[in-house]
A = this chain, B = another copy of it.
Amino acid sequence: MTVRQLSLPELVDACAQLGVPGVGLWREPVRAYGVEAAAKLVRDAGLAVTTLCRGGFLTATGADERARSLDDNRTAVDEAAALGTDTLVLVSGGLPAGSRDLHGARERIADALAELGPYAAERGVRLAVEPLHPMFAADRCVVSTLAQALDLAERFPADQVGVTVDTYHLWWDDTAPARIARAGAGGRIHTFQVADWVTPLPEGVLNGRGQLGDGAVDLREWRGHVEAAGYRGPIEVELFNEGLWTRDGREVLAETVARFAAHVL
């Protein structure tokens, strides 16, 4: 998503040229390209697929909508397995229209995880519940803190359900480092993502993530937290940023690699 202006072949080529060893893919471009074809493209370039983004949206109340959501998530698990990644990131979903029941919505996510966790584990895929920044609690993700995500994940085995740690969503939370330690001790940090926090936020607040080093987040400190918790997996850079998307994708990727070296490593 950081360079969504690149096609999959362009992305794979640019990663190979820049020495980027792995890439987190999104479902929509993968499906448009063809799941098997995308898997072959990435594999042939020697690139790892770090995660597939994303499943989730598990908060619906109606039986039909709920069944459709579970079906779609099983498909996402299948796609992750086909791509050769062991991690499917889950964005849990917001409040149903007219609802004010955050607690009920969070419990419906737990119900869905109980169905999806075994299905995923049988296919070698772990679900990574991602807490999103509290500004998304109403319309995108009722899981707002790492503590909430862990409370959900820990009801299930770690090879079924863990968490996504993303600096953009957690940087303000002084209790997050202790939760990262708890997640690491349980083997539940299934991926670590970095983005910086910049202001002012754009309308709708979705596409305002900052290039690494441009904002308020001490990215290296957060890398230290996950590493102290035992995490040794890939570090994903996930920037939703309208400004970056209007630029040349290869240039943005090269800049991001340089920023990663300067501000994360």
Tell me the A residues contacting B by CB distance below 8 Å.
Answer: 95, 99-103, 106, 133-135, 137-139, 144-145, 147-148, 171-175, 197-205, 215-218
Looking across the interface, which residue of chain B has its beta carbon closest to that of A197?
A: B138
Rounded to whole angstroms, the CA-CA distance of A95 and B205 in the bound complex is 20
A-B contact pairs, 11 of them (CB 8 A): A95-B216, A100-B217, A103-B174, A106-B174, A133-B134, A138-B198, A138-B199, A139-B200, A147-B175, A199-B204, A201-B201
If A95-B216, A144-B172, A148-B174 touch, does A135 touch B205 (CB 8 Å cutoff)?
A: yes
Looking across the interface, which residue of chain B has its beta carbon closest to that of A219?
A: B100
Q: How many whole Å from A248's CB to the nearest CB in chain B? A: 26
If A201-B204, A203-B200, A204-B200 touch, does A174 touch B102 (CB 8 Å cutoff)?
A: yes
B134 touches A173 (CB 8 A): yes
If A135-B205, A203-B203 touch, does A172 touch B102 (CB 8 Å cutoff)?
A: yes
How many copies of the chain does the oligomer comprise? 2
Rounded to whole angstroms, the CA-CA distance of A218 and B101 in the bound complex is 8
In-complex Cβ contact of A144 among B173, B199, B200, B218 (8 A): B173
B100 touches A216 (CB 8 A): yes
User: What residues of B have a CB within 8 angstroms of the CB of A102 in the complex?
Assistant: 171-172, 174
Looking across the interface, which residue of chain B has its beta carbon closest to that of A175?
A: B147
Looking across the interface, which residue of chain B has its beta carbon closest to that of A134?
A: B172
If A201-B205, A204-B200, A205-B205 touch, does A138 touch B216 (CB 8 Å cutoff)?
A: yes
Q: How many whole Å from A130's CB to the nearest CB in chain B? A: 15
B135 touches A135 (CB 8 A): yes
Rounded to whole angstroms, the CA-CA distance of A199 and B132 in the bound complex is 15
Looking across the interface, which residue of chain B has its beta carbon closest to that of A204?
A: B200
A139 touches B173 (CB 8 A): no
User: What residues of B have a CB within 8 angstroms of the CB of A95 in the complex?
Assistant: 216
A215 touches B173 (CB 8 A): no
Rounded to whole angstroms, the CA-CA distance of A173 and B103 in the bound complex is 10
Rounded to whole angstroms, the CA-CA distance of A100 and B220 in the bound complex is 11
